[in-house]
Structure 1
């Protein structure tokens, strides 16, 4: 096994180089049909000299596949199980073995920031230069995708950053009701206009207008958390999307028990310290939240105004957008 106690920065660059050869990035567009026996499955997978943590195992068209994460870079991969040496582990064993990696540090940090009823989890990254990580939520909606987010963002960064990184928190309901918009996003990524980190945002995103927060969203009685998490992942894979290791609570609402349920899936809860529609102003390293489902024009307009206000800094590469995976990884690599 790779020595996970090596200095983290050296390991980080080593893993990035290895990943370029180990697995093709084009597989993010692979569509997995007729998925069966989709299950939470932890373990160690190795394709020399790279180590991965196995998160899921499933079958598709007669072949066994693994969903894995590189614990140094937080990049996820799906590949044929026969490609790897595999050692099954319990979640506790996997977390102990990889305890010094950014991925495990982020899990522990998220668990420690779960006291508040709202906005548990990782709220900011730590980029080396000034900038933000943009996240846009795709909650259930009858309105079409707010495409101005993407076209204005691409236009603002076309000379300095391409593809432009964005993280999209997607619900199963939105995914299956907005196929044309989903195909548009996938084509934008295929054309290397944007690069997307897909965040699990639950399947149904249930919400009540009358229940208090402590009984609302995923805390609502009768919620099947296994279905909310795993069915969303299955639908991602069936639509050619690559599930990440991140999860965003609907309404940003959770409690300690729910946070622990999510980390038991191997997922890192992602919050925000800059929900634009609520007037929260982004700082260096902020994880910014807007909604891209057509239901929050104020937040979208605020983001577009933010881009315009940063035009000179963007042109000088003094204010950039950061890939959420890299931003969170950067924060925990130095710890």
Structure 2
């Protein structure tokens, strides 16, 4: 390879790296025209699926997902070769990827009124994927979850992966708690997958489940989904392709409405506060908003009971995206 070509390749890699770093660190304070937008985007060597398009301070951006790894990112539109599609065309184009297989599985499990969607990750591994919900609450963040997992895992797994289901209202009410979480991530103590948990998380103490939470008549799903993503981006958070229904309540029509946005519903097979015991590969649910100390206490006891296995790397926390990717990689 001649020196001029080598210099060109190194410069290209450097510019690409700097470009991606700048996008990764962006806080989009002036988002306009935020909307679903689907298609294929390519920048050598990777194909991406476009999920959203928006503008910020005169520039156009995409929210994209790597359909093989389920990793998302935002980036400037001009950086890509693009083919626009509708959602059906885009899903068909990427139909053999883990991302689309996970969407199809969620749709097959859409009939249940509670806990529809993906419920477990890697069944072959000893360990769990931890999800903590941040529903609207007047109580402060239960920080024990995050300090304790870091304490237990820092010698064998750092940063420690955790998935947080966040609502728009919680972000608005708890800016200092949100900043504390962002600092833990910035220090590489934890690695957060941000799950959309709706904006308002409305709940009625009287209404039956089939008319409660997001099934409440008059609910604007477009607002509940997109306003939460916008709030994430404005706060410097990266939306994932995952969504958790408030109360884990949905119906088949709502599931299909959700997947039309390219989002995968995440349930649980181990809601600790309800006494459900985690198995290998479980997606564990606790609440980190201060409203469910029982579940947090149970999780801390679980960590303590597994301390020996954690030290030997025989019981680990798994990144939710990697769990789903590995479950569906190579499957039909």
State TM-score, norm by structure 2: 0.93
Aligned length: 316
Q: Which residue of 2 aligns with 1:310?
A: 306
Structure 1 segment 95-114 matched on structure 2, within 5 A: 95-114=91-110
Secondary structure of the structure 1 residue equivalent to 2:163: strand
Q: Structure 1's 200 and 54: CA in aligned 2 closer, same or farther, altered over 3 A?
A: same
Q: Structure 1's 96 and 70: CA in aligned 2 closer, same or farther, altered over 3 A?
A: same
Q: Structure 1's 23 and 75: CA in aligned 2 closer, same or farther, altered over 3 A?
A: farther
Deviation at residue 24 of structure 1 after TM alignment: 3.7
Q: Give yes or no for contact 1:137–1:170 (8 Å, CA) kept in 2.
A: yes
Secondary structure of the structure 1 residue equivalent to 2:223: helix
Q: Give yes or no for contact 2:123–2:282 (8 Å, CA) kept in 1.
A: no
Q: Which residue of 2 aligns with 1:8?
A: none
Q: 1:82 aligns with which of 78, 92, 101?
A: 78
Q: Which residue of 1 aligns with 2:254?
A: 258
Larger radius of gyration: 2
State the alpha-carbon separation in 2 of the partners of residues 47 and 100 from structure 1.
20
Q: Which residue of 2 aligns with 1:244?
A: 240
Q: Which residue of 2 aligns with 1:231?
A: 227
Q: Which residue of 2 aligns with 1:169?
A: 165
Deviation at residue 334 of structure 1 after TM alignment: 3.3
State TM-score, norm by structure 1: 0.92
Q: Deviations over 1:22-67 (max 9, x none)?
A: 9746744420011000000001000012100000000000000000
Deviation at residue 144 of structure 1 after TM alignment: 0.3
Q: Give yes or no for contact 2:39–2:86 (8 Å, CA) kept in 1.
A: yes
| Residue 199 (1) aligns with residue 192 (2) | no
Query: Structure 2: where are the runs of 5+ without partners?
Result: 1-15
Q: Deviations over 1:143-193 (max 9, x none)?
A: 000000000000000110000000000000000110000000001000000
Q: Structure 1's 54 and 22: CA in aligned 2 closer, same or farther, altered over 3 A?
A: farther
RMSD value, Cα: 1.3
| Residue 298 (1) aligns with residue 297 (2) | no
Q: Structure 1's 23 and 111: CA in aligned 2 closer, same or farther, altered over 3 A?
A: farther
Query: Structure 1: where are the runs of 5+ without partners?
Result: 1-19
Q: 1:32 aligns with which of 28, 33, 42?
A: 28
Secondary structure of the structure 2 residue equivalent to 1:95: helix
State the alpha-carbon separation in 2 of the partners of residues 252 and 26 from structure 1.
36
Q: Which residue of 2 aligns with 1:50?
A: 46
State the alpha-carbon separation in 2 of the partners of residues 149 and 129 from structure 1.
22
Q: Give yes or no for contact 2:114–2:249 (8 Å, CA) kept in 1.
A: yes
